[in-house]
Structure formats: C-alpha cells, structure tokens
Amino acid sequence: MSPSLSEGEPLAVSEQRPIKSVEIYLPSILGYEKIARNAAAAIAQEMGFSEDRIEDLQTAVAEACMNAIEHGNRSERSAKVTVLLTAAESGELEVKVTDEGHTPLPDERPQPGSSADHRGWGMFFIEQLMDKVEFSRLPEGGNSVRMVIYLTPERAQGDQGAAASQEAPPSAE
C-alpha cells in the first residue's frame, strides 16, 4: 500500500506523480513574471534539468513574460498574460507565453544594441537560451511565444542536425 496524505505524512517527491502541465494567469504588472519563472524552475528541477539549463529557462521565461506585459499588453493591468508549462516524458519542457495585446510582433526584430535606448535584447536572449522558439500572432488577437528546452543540450543539437539534413538538397554522387 502506498502512503497517502490522509495518513498524516506527506508523500516523498520521488513517490509523487510528476507535474505534466501548469497554467498560470498573470496580471500585466512587472514583477509577476517571477511567478512563472519560479514555476518553470520547479518543474525543470523535478524533471532533472541541470542548474545551468534551469537558469537559462528562468531567464527566457522572465523575458517572454516581461515582453508580453510591456509590449503586447502595454502594461494594461486588466490584460492578462497566460503561461502554459508542459513537461514531456521525453525530457522536453515546453513553455507558451501568450498576451492579449493588440500590438503585433514586429516582422523584423531589432538587433541588440542597434538603438540608443539599448532595447531589443529580450527576444535575442530567448532565442539564444532556448532550444526551439516560435513567435506568432494569434487569430483572435494577442501574441504567443512557444519555447522548448530539452533536458540535455545534446538532444537539441541532435534535433537541429536532423532538421538540417532534411532541408539539405540531395548531393549529386
């Protein structure tokens, strides 16, 4: 018989079922991105991610949430940011950050340091820190960023190599 909460003692983490999915709704107020960042870190830690990978994940999640708050929702307090964290048994953690904003994503993202106000680093950091990143405009309005990070960087390199080999034209032998 496995232990239960009704027996008075909490289950050990190793005996608990792993978290598969968490959905968080945040107000468009800077500072609340920390909730999503910490939730992502907790799930990644449970999945066995290294501290370096968790730090990368936390930075990317915070940047995506701050972009949604500031740029997508224009800090309109009543507009929400939705964060969906989904853990796969394959060692993949997917994070979707969605805003309700009416400001579309730029067709061309600014290059970091290209303007005097030092803006434009958020999307750059996200793309550098995560293994897969997709930015999209939602049909019903709002923007979404889908980010994927793998348990090991080697898995990401393997996926990128497979994608490159599928895109490469056949060689003439």
Give residue-wise pLDDT tens across range 56-81: 999 999 999 999 999 999 999 999 99
- State in words which class domain 18-159 has: alpha beta
> For the chain, what is the mean pLDDT?
81
- Are the beta carbons of 85 and 22 closer than 8 angstroms? yes
Mean pLDDT value across residues 116-126: 73
Residue 114 sits at φ, ψ, to 5 deg, of -80, -10
Contacts of 145 (CB under 8 A, 6+ apart): 64, 67, 68, 96, 97, 126, 133, 134, 135, 136
Q: Compute the chain's Rg from CA coordinates.
A: 19
Q: What distance in Å separates the CA atoms of residue 118 and residue 121, rounded to the nearest whole number? A: 8
Residue 18 in this model has a pLDDT that exceeds 90? no
- Are the beta carbons of 151 and 47 closer than 8 angstroms? yes
Taking the complete model, does pTM exceed 0.85, yes or no? no
Tracing tokens 């003692």 back to the chain, one arrives at 9
Q: 7-20 in b/e burial notation, b at 16+ Cβ within 10 A? A: eeeeeeeeeeeeee
- Nearest residue to 60 via CA among 140, 173, 143, 149: 149
